[in-house]
Chains A and B, each alone.
Chain A
Amino acid sequence: MTGREHWSRKLFLICNYLFLTGLSLSMLLPFLNVIAQSFSGAVAIDRGDVLFWPVDFTLNYYQYVFDDASIWRAFGITVYITVVGTLINLAATSSLAYPLSRTEYVGRKYVLLFVLLTMIFTAPLIPQFILMRELDLVNTLWALMIPTAISAFNLIVLRSFFVQIPPELIDSARIDGCGELRILWSLVLPLSKPALATIGIFYSVTNWNKYMDALYYLNDRKLYPLQVKLRELLINDDLVDTGNLPFDVSSQSVQGVQMAVILVATVPIIMLYPFLQRYFIKGMLIGSIKS
């Protein structure tokens, strides 16, 4: 290596570290700003004094958020669709992924193709909406859980995992007199815990973040999940002008309340993140390679 190259390499590495550090900060600092504002006094926020540390520390916004019954209600609905929805996701996905992973299932190639095609050909919104109406799912929480019960991507991730289970293991269970259901329940699923955790986490994040489906299929405000409620609280920049605020602004900073709600809606995801990280990379890779 020549001296000049050595020098330019060093310069590159320094720039690279600076760039990556800057990039990481650009993802981290907005969060810190949200946290700082959610604990800062209204006057300080409106003056633009709050950067990454609370000014005039206050818990007013959290007080407000926790006192608002409609936010609690939306939070509860989101917890419900995340828990029940993810259980439905896991049950539905594994009961199709397992047969498709077994060579004893004649025609699995065609069924797989049938599933994969839905990733390319997607129906327009209105026919989907009409279908939901016909099935009487509009304005029920099922509308947020049933139509998204199986994601083709997660199905393929799970199937790829099931395929790796040695057929000898399953054969020997059969010789021991286990039925297919028993094999699935007490052999295949326990062996597949990491894969189930992966797709379970994918599904729960999707369910927690559900917004669009609620917008499409729910009119009843009582059923609104957290993301829709959050959005309502966030768009009141327009409402400020009309004096039509969803909450009392006296001594409150609108922005402070908004930031507090953002944090309340994000904390569960942040708490899940260490587990997410353990699994998602692997799961994502299996899925992408296969598709």
Chain B
Amino acid sequence: MLGFMWKYRTLYVISIPGILFFLVFKYVPLLGSVIAFQNYNLFAGFKGSPWVGLEHFERMFRHHDFLRILKNTLLLGTYDILFAFTAPIVLALLLNEVRLALYKKIVQTIIYAPHFLSWVIVSGIFVGMLSPSSGIVNVILGWFGVEPIYFLGEDSFIRTILVGSGLWRDVGWGTIIYLAALTGINPELYEASQIDGAGRWKQTLSITIPALLPVITVLFLLKIGDFMDYGFERVFVFQNPLNIQNSEILDTYIYKAGLKQLQYSYATAIGLFKSVVGLFLLAIANTLSRKATGESLY
């Protein structure tokens, strides 16, 4: 065994930097989460900082804004599942009905493209389009006599804008995996059901959707695992003081409390809370799914 390993020692040597990478940049900070239970001080370090138990977690729940921020996070997570998760499935089914190959290719080329834009650029495009003075949306509303609206300056629009910009950027990209699963369906199934007199709608319900179900389940579980991680960038780039009430989520709050106000331990406690809730949701969803469909992540 050792002789065998020695013979291929080069393989082990070249794998060391990569393993060290994951150890240092992924596992060490995971252990570093213990500062959530300390009053961490940069100069005293991990060893010198005093332990304070659950103080930061208690403080987090007492914070007057915390429930609102948590609510924003959960709401965006829910909208994300309701819209951003389901839209690509529907879109893939619609694309699947297109028989003109060239048309399909052109549509796909266009709808995949926004995925490669950074959130900063997406926000720039949206802020431009929604601008009260020169934005195209207000120009068009103006044709119908509607007074200009400062969409980004109001709490009531911000969640719609966040979900909408997310859909705009990623709905096309999300279809790729479903389209691939669709090409894997045996055409004989359709032929057989056609002989039985089933229409296209019936075929979709009885053949296409069941064939997609395993992929849908796995992606759904992954999505649940990310429930609390709506994403820092995509929210932060749309925030301004006028919409912050409804746009502050845990990720953006952690950044502000931790890196701007230097409350290291407090921000870590919130981050840890977020991770634990996420893992918990994933575990529940995974168990339910294994019982219901037999599909699970682990």
Q: Given A124-B268, A128-B29, A179-B10, do A276 and B116 touch, yes or no (CB 8 Å)?
A: yes
For window 210-255 of chain B, which residues contact chain A by CB distance below 8 Å? 225, 232-233, 236-237, 240-241, 254-255
**Cβ contacts under 8 Å, A17 to chain B:** 98, 103
The answer to whether B113 touches A273, judged by C-beta atoms less than 8 angstroms apart, is: yes
**Cβ contacts under 8 Å, B149 to chain A:** none
For window 104-141 of chain A, which residues contact chain B by CB distance below 8 Å? 104-106, 111, 114-115, 118, 120-131, 133
The answer to whether B121 touches A265, judged by C-beta atoms less than 8 angstroms apart, is: yes
The answer to whether A238 touches B15, judged by C-beta atoms less than 8 angstroms apart, is: no
Output the least CB separation between B126 and chain A (Å).
Answer: 8
The answer to whether B128 touches A33, judged by C-beta atoms less than 8 angstroms apart, is: yes
| Residue interface mask A197-226, B partner, CB < 8 A = 1 | 000000001001101100110000000000
With the chains together, A102 CA to B11 CA distance in Å? Answer: 9
Find A180's partner among B8, B25, B98 (CB 8 Å cutoff). Answer: B8
Q: Given A1-B199, A34-B125, A131-B25, do A124 and B267 touch, yes or no (CB 8 Å)?
A: yes
Output the least CB separation between A92 and chain B (Å).
Answer: 6
The answer to whether A125 touches B107, judged by C-beta atoms less than 8 angstroms apart, is: no
Q: Does A76 contact B (CB under 8 A)?
A: no
Find A106's partner among B4, B106, B282 (CB 8 Å cutoff). Answer: B4
Q: How many A residues touch B, CB cutoff 8 Å?
A: 96
With the chains together, A255 CA to B241 CA distance in Å? Answer: 20
**Cβ contacts under 8 Å, A50 to chain B:** 134
Stretch at the interface among A24-32, A56-64, A242-250: A24-32
Find A96's partner among B19, B25, B113, B119 (CB 8 Å cutoff). Answer: B19
| Residue interface mask A91-103, B partner, CB < 8 A = 1 | 0110110111010
The answer to whether B17 touches A269, judged by C-beta atoms less than 8 angstroms apart, is: no
| Residue interface mask B140-161, A partner, CB < 8 A = 1 | 0010000000001000000000
The answer to whether A27 touches B120, judged by C-beta atoms less than 8 angstroms apart, is: no
Q: Does A13 contact B (CB under 8 A)?
A: yes
The answer to whether B17 touches A92, judged by C-beta atoms less than 8 angstroms apart, is: yes
| Residue interface mask A259-291, B partner, CB < 8 A = 1 | 101100110010011001100110011001000
**Cβ contacts under 8 Å, B125 to chain A:** 30-31, 34, 262
Find B176's partner among A51, A115, A122, A285 (CB 8 Å cutoff). Answer: A285
For window 115-146 of chain B, which residues contact chain A by CB distance below 8 Å? 116-121, 123-125, 127-129, 131, 133-136, 138-139, 142
Q: Does A19 contact B (CB under 8 A)?
A: yes
Q: Does B288 contact A (CB under 8 A)?
A: no
Q: Does B189 contact A (CB under 8 A)?
A: no
With the chains together, A276 CA to B26 CA distance in Å? Answer: 29
Q: Does B196 contact A (CB under 8 A)?
A: no
The answer to whether B18 touches A212, judged by C-beta atoms less than 8 angstroms apart, is: no
**Cβ contacts under 8 Å, A165 to chain B:** none
Interface of A is mostly: helix
- Write 27 A-B pairs (CB below 8 A) sorted by A numbering: A16-B94, A16-B98, A24-B106, A24-B110, A27-B111, A34-B128, A48-B139, A93-B18, A99-B11, A99-B12, A99-B15, A100-B15, A122-B275, A126-B264, A127-B30, A128-B29, A129-B258, A155-B18, A180-B11, A181-B10, A209-B120, A211-B119, A211-B233, A237-B152, A266-B117, A272-B116, A281-B180
16 other A-B residue contacts (CB within 8 Å) besides A126-B265, A212-B232, A237-B131:
A5-B199, A17-B103, A20-B107, A33-B129, A37-B128, A96-B17, A99-B12, A105-B11, A126-B35, A127-B30, A127-B33, A211-B233, A212-B233, A234-B123, A234-B124, A285-B177
| Chain A interface residues (CB < 8 Å from chain B) | 1, 5, 9, 12-13, 16-17, 19-21, 23-24, 26-28, 30-31, 33-34, 37, 45-48, 50-51, 92-93, 95-96, 98-100, 102, 104-106, 111, 114-115, 118, 120-131, 133, 146-147, 149-150, 152, 155, 179-181, 184, 205, 208-209, 211-212, 215-216, 227, 230-231, 234-235, 237-238, 253, 255, 258-259, 261-262, 265-266, 269, 272-273, 276-277, 280-281, 284-285, 288
List 7 tightest A-B contacts by C-beta distance, closest first.
A124-B271, A96-B18, A127-B32, A123-B29, A209-B118, A180-B10, A127-B29
| Chain B interface residues (CB < 8 Å from chain A) | 1, 4-5, 7-8, 10-12, 14-15, 17-19, 21-22, 24-33, 35-36, 40, 42, 91, 94-95, 97-98, 103, 106-107, 109-114, 116-121, 123-125, 127-129, 131, 133-136, 138-139, 142, 152, 168, 172, 176-177, 180, 199-200, 225, 232-233, 236-237, 240-241, 254-255, 258-259, 264-265, 267-268, 270-272, 274-275, 279, 282
